[in-house]
Structure 1
Amino acid sequence: MVAFVHTPVPLRASLTKATISRSAFMGRRATTAPVVASKATVRMQQLPVFTNAMAEFKAEYPDFAKRGWGATVKAERWNGRHVMAGWVILVATGFVKGHGLIPDASVPLDLKQWGTLAALGNQQPITNERAIILIAHVHLLFVSVAAALAPFAFQDKLLLAPGEEDEKPAGLIPPLTFGLTKDAEMWNGRVAMLGLMVLVGASVATKTPILDTLNKGLGNLLF
């Protein structure tokens, strides 16, 4: 579940406002006086639909929310990582397909050897190319699940530990920071998700396969 969450973001620590003072020579005149405002009160306008969705999910499904599932920042970060990995897989799939690196790509699977796994719900068996790509995605899925449930010591966790607080929401527009930072990763994940939506939409609108649409978008670099 993708959770685009927006919370107020501080603008700056101090502002100025116009005040009215009296002068013996000019009567009333406008002056500027500094007004110190805390970061907790001077905020950008928030979108309550996102914050309300998080609060409602936490109230309705507390067991899921406290583990990091659902409408949480943790879920959005990992969704972004999966989409970025999906882009790598799409490019790699287009490259190996376009350069003939899949052996016997057009040969259909033998129903006697593979049974119903080769048909996927109909009597027309899938090709060896499709089977190899499908199994590759299944392997990646298992790796992703393992990374979520039992990560290595150097990996961050998908699930929240008991009593662990979730990350602070990044906001509708996360802070723009460069380098290996969480803000940069959030930007990359959101751009990747938006790009995948554009790719699928363009493929559906033009009635062309996704790999062909991707190849055209990359200037025919894949095949």
Structure 2
Amino acid sequence: MAAFVHTPVPLRASLTKASISRSAFMGRRAAAVSVASLKSSVRMQQLPVFTRAMDEFKNEYPDFAKRGWGATVKAERWNGRHVMAGWVILVATGYAKGHGLIPDASSLLNLKEWGTLAALGNQQPITNERAIILIAHVHLLFVSVAAALAPFAFQDKLLLAPGEQDDKPAGLIPPLQFGLNKNAETWNGRVAMLGLLVLVGSSVATKTPVLDTLNKGLGNLLF
């Protein structure tokens, strides 16, 4: 009986040791799973689509990739900057239209004076407002080309210098950082591009001019 009474003590100790070792193993396993899931989330964060597109372009067009042409991080940053500048121009154009700052906005151009550039393609002339907006965008395009090909020393360059490495892709969801940094600029550029797609898509779907759609979206603040 004494032996029977004292036997549960080592059994409980052994069970306790086994449970502790099992819990330690499960803890290590859970930690390994969490680390693996973290690595997987990091890989999903980088999304091979971006790096794959860049690698494929580098393999197919190595000479262009060395100079920064094609699928590059700088190209995405510049596209975002152009779209953000486009939003400013759209709002400014709507404000100018609503406050009568465009002279003779509704008057049609004379095809005999301006030629086929003033036509929409079906021999219907464009308005003076449309012509002014078109020429303003052409000027902005040339300024952008000049800034890309021959930037000043203080400007951010679009093309890569010989031997210069491009930045790493930000991934599908860049880290959210406030302030003046590259991740914040990437977020702003992507949101601006997505917003422009929504604006143009809504304009096409409702068959209304882009400025009218923008004005309605802003609560008729422009005109």
| TM interval, short-chain normalised | 0.7 to 0.9
Query: Percent identity, aligned pairs only?
Result: 81
Structure 1 Cα separation of the partners of residues 111 and 40 of structure 2 = 66
Match of 1:197 in 2: 197
RMSD: 2.1
Q: Does 1:206 align with 2:206?
A: yes
Q: Does 1:91 align with 2:72?
A: no
Deviation at residue 125 of structure 1 after TM alignment:
1.9
Match of 2:5 in 1: none
Cα 1:205–1:121 change in 2 (3 A) is closer
TM-score, normalised to structure 1, is 0.82
The answer as to whether partners of 2:50 and 2:171 remain within 8 angstroms in 1 is no
- Uncovered stretches (5+) of structure 1, i.e. residues with no partner: 1-22
Larger Rg: 2
Match of 1:45 in 2: 43
Deviation at residue 45 of structure 1 after TM alignment:
3.1
Deviation at residue 116 of structure 1 after TM alignment:
2.4
Match of 1:68 in 2: 68
CA deviations over 1:100-150 (Å, ceiling 9, x no partner): 111111122222322222225342221111111100000000111111111
Cα 1:195–1:101 change in 2 (3 A) is same
Match of 2:16 in 1: 26
Match of 1:70, as an amino acid? G
SS in 1 for 2:87: helix
Match of 2:58 in 1: 58
TM-score, normalised to structure 2, is 0.82
CA deviations over 1:9-65 (Å, ceiling 9, x no partner): xxxxxxxxxxxxxx7561322124687x8xxx6762333233222111110011111
Q: Does 1:159 align with 2:149?
A: no
The count of residues paired between Structure 1 and Structure 2 equals 198
Match of 1:80 in 2: 80
Larger RCO, structures 1/2 (Cα 8 Å, 6+ apart): 2
Cα 1:122–1:52 change in 2 (3 A) is same
Match of 2:147, as an amino acid? A
Deviation at residue 219 of structure 1 after TM alignment:
0.9
Which protein is richer in helix relative to its size? 2
- Uncovered stretches (5+) of structure 2, i.e. residues with no partner: 1-12
